[in-house]
Amino acid sequence: MNVSVSPQTGDSSLFGKPLFEDPSARALSRVGVVDVGSNSVRLVVFDGAARSPAYFYNEKIMCALGAGVSDTGHLSPEGRVRALNALTRFQRLAEGMGLSDLSVVATAAVRDASDGLEFRSDVLRETGLNVRVIDGREEARLSAQGVLLGWPGSYGLVCDIGGSSMELAEISDGEVGRRVTSDLGPLKLQTVRGGKKGRRAHIKDVMAQLHEEMGAQRDRLFLVGGSWRAIARVDMHRRGYPLHVLHEYRMTPQSVQRTAKFIREHEDHEALRGECGISSARMALVPLAAEVLWRLVKTFRPKDIAVSSYGIREGMLYEQMPQRLRDRDPLIEACRFAEAKDARMPGFGKLLYQFIEPIFKSAPEQRKRLIKAACLLHDVSWRAHPDYRAEVCFDNATRANLGGLKHAERVFLGLALLHRYTNKREGTHFEGLYDLIDDKTQRDAEILGKAMRFGAMLWMEKDAERGEFRWFPKKRELELHLSPDAMPLFGEVAEARLNSLANSLEAKVTVKKRRR
């Protein structure tokens, strides 16, 4: 997925002062939001670099607040009790975390139910929390902003499915465009008359109306919502996909069709639920959601499909960001924050990148972005035991909460950081993930890792002159020009690491000492 970076955050200033140190960003360093949905109530507390925050706390309670609203007009009595208990718990947790305020929003169930106002009054009286009810178009906007939190400059159609509604929003050049809402949430579909035939006819009719309102949307389709993520888990299971990270997981229209059929024809949904790690309450809605997704894809015909773990809650955080923070690359901001927090020598990542950059001067900008990220992260796992440090690096890169990364890019970054600490990648329990990138990309990651592995040997004071690499790819010649001050650091271990790098480059290496 493309991530566009504004001119102010481009190559020349990317290693400038990170915005997480700015007062406007520090105000967002820990933010708590609660989403009161038709099916679940969730608390998320964001922490760290505001542009790409970590999930300091994340808890979901399945309440089914919207069950039966279509028939009775009232919130589920049992769901009300469970939701109120959940909000009471979340308010106490927020107090314990030192949060001064929680932002609480409610969506379709509370806005549709005749006793929604009464429920909100109960919550205010019991917890002091003010629940803000948002309409479908606002829900669509916030969900789309959640996608933009992870991928600034993205384009396509965002589809957010909840228990009682489904929203669509178009995004282009970092802006949210047209938005619509519908009743295609699986809880509401349970009450559609006419059995399976009536339900499918209803889905088809509503989807046609949505297509008429939204117009042609042939770009990327972003899927937001727990039911979509559950379907993605089933798709991973069906395909035997090795990296179980839902964020940025890709599906084709053909795989959606096959997975919808797989779910429809699977005889034992309970066994499938266990194999895929899906809760019972969620699994009950998956077959209905799969019918909606199949029709959505068939109607809008997107070129590809990406699962987003970012949605309405992340959109609420994005809402509070100044524009200059929104424009930052979430990957680089997160890596800068990690370096400042965990590296032994914060700031060395910039120097390391400048030192090894001549080897990668012909790399495309998207690759250089990953090289910068790797240099920033190269030392953040130093506390891990040396025998496991390489694997810890790979695991962190492939599974950490990093925005703006395709799965293949996660594996590239992970392999580079693995080779930062070891020459060989065989023999790890991650080998099944390597095939997500081709042999050439694996070799490029190895070269990057070995370049960082050598460059890390030249730890000197911040403004010291280290020297430079000169790379002649046509001749397959690598020259290392070391300053007189750096020359004493070029011992046996450093020489071995340089030779290992040269072997991976299939190059002849020459070391030259600069004159003062």
Q: Work out the pLDDT band at 7, boundaries 50, 70, 90.
A: very low
Give the SS3 label for residue 183. Answer: coil
| Separation CA 224–CA 128 (nearest Å) | 30
Are the C-beta atoms of 226 and 7 separated by less than 8 Å? no
CA distance 167 to 158: 8
Judged by DSSP in three states, 304 sits in: strand
Report whether pLDDT(82) > 80: yes
Cα 232 from Cα 60, distance rounded (Å): 19
Q: Which two tokens stand for residue 21?
A: 């140190």
Strand order in the sheet with 175-182: 175-182, 166-172, 156-161, 220-224, 304-308, 250-251
Q: What is the dihedral of CA 308, 309, 312, 317, to 10 degrees?
A: -110
Which is nearest to 311 in space by CA: 188, 398, 229?
A: 229
In DSSP terms, 41 is beta-bridged to 36, 61
The DSSP element (H or E) to which 392 belongs, if any, is: helix 389-399
Identify the CA nearest to 306 among candidates 219, 184, 366: 219
Q: Which of 2-11, 145-154, 415-424 has the highest mean pLDDT?
A: 415-424
What does the alpha-carbon distance between residue 165 and residue 183 come to, in Å, rounded to a whole number? 5
Position 497 pLDDT exceeds 50: yes
Residues contacting 431, CB < 8 A, separation 6+: 425
Question: CA-to-CA distance for 263 and 440, rounded, in angstroms?
Answer: 37
Average pLDDT over residues 71-88: 96
pLDDT at 13 over 70: no
pLDDT at residue 464 in the model: 78
Task: Determine the distance from the C-alpha atom of residue 443 to the mean position of all C-alpha atoms in its chain, rounded to a whole number.
Answer: 25
Q: Where in the chain is the domain with CATH 1.10.3210.10?
A: 330-513
Cα–Cα distance for residue pair 26/345, rounded to 1 Å: 22
Q: What is the pLDDT of residues 290-346, one digit of tens each?
A: 999 999 999 999 999 999 999 999 999 888 888 888 888 899 988 998 999 999 999
Parts of the chain belonging to CATH 3.30.420.150: 14-322
CATH superfamily of the 330-513 domain: Hypothetical protein af1432 (1.10.3210.10)
Residue 3: predicted pLDDT? 46
Provide, rounded to the nearest whole percent, the portion of the chain with pLDDT above 70: 94
pLDDT by residue (tens digit) across 427-469?
888 999 999 999 999 999 999 999 999 999 988 777 778 889 9
Q: What is the pTM of this model?
A: 0.88
d(CA 325, CA 401): 18
**Range 64-84 average pLDDT:** 94
Please tell me what DSSP assigns to residue 267: S
What does the pLDDT read at residue 54?
A: 79
| 179 neighbors 141 (Cβ within 8 angstroms) | yes
Q: Within its chain, how far is the Cα of 429 from the centroid?
A: 23
Report the pLDDT value the prediction gives residue 11, as an integer from 0 to 100. 39
| Average pLDDT of the chain to the nearest whole number | 91
Q: Which CATH architecture has domain 14-322?
A: 2-Layer Sandwich (3.30)
pLDDT computed for residue 10 by the predictor: 38
Alpha helices (H) along 215-360: 226-239, 253-265, 269-276, 280-283, 286-300, 312-319, 323-326, 330-342, 348-356
Q: pLDDT (tens digit, 9 = 90+) per residue, 238-285?
A: 999 999 999 999 999 999 999 999 999 998 999 999 999 999 989 999
Ranking 110-114, 389-393, 399-403 by mean pLDDT, the lowest is 399-403
Rg (the chain; Cα; Å): 25
Q: What is the pLDDT of residues 354-389, one digit of tens each?
A: 999 999 999 999 999 999 999 999 999 999 999 999
Element (H, E) at 110: helix 108-112
pLDDT reading at 5 higher than 50: no
CA separation for the pair 329, 340 (Å, rounded):
17
CB 219 within 8 A of CB 206: no
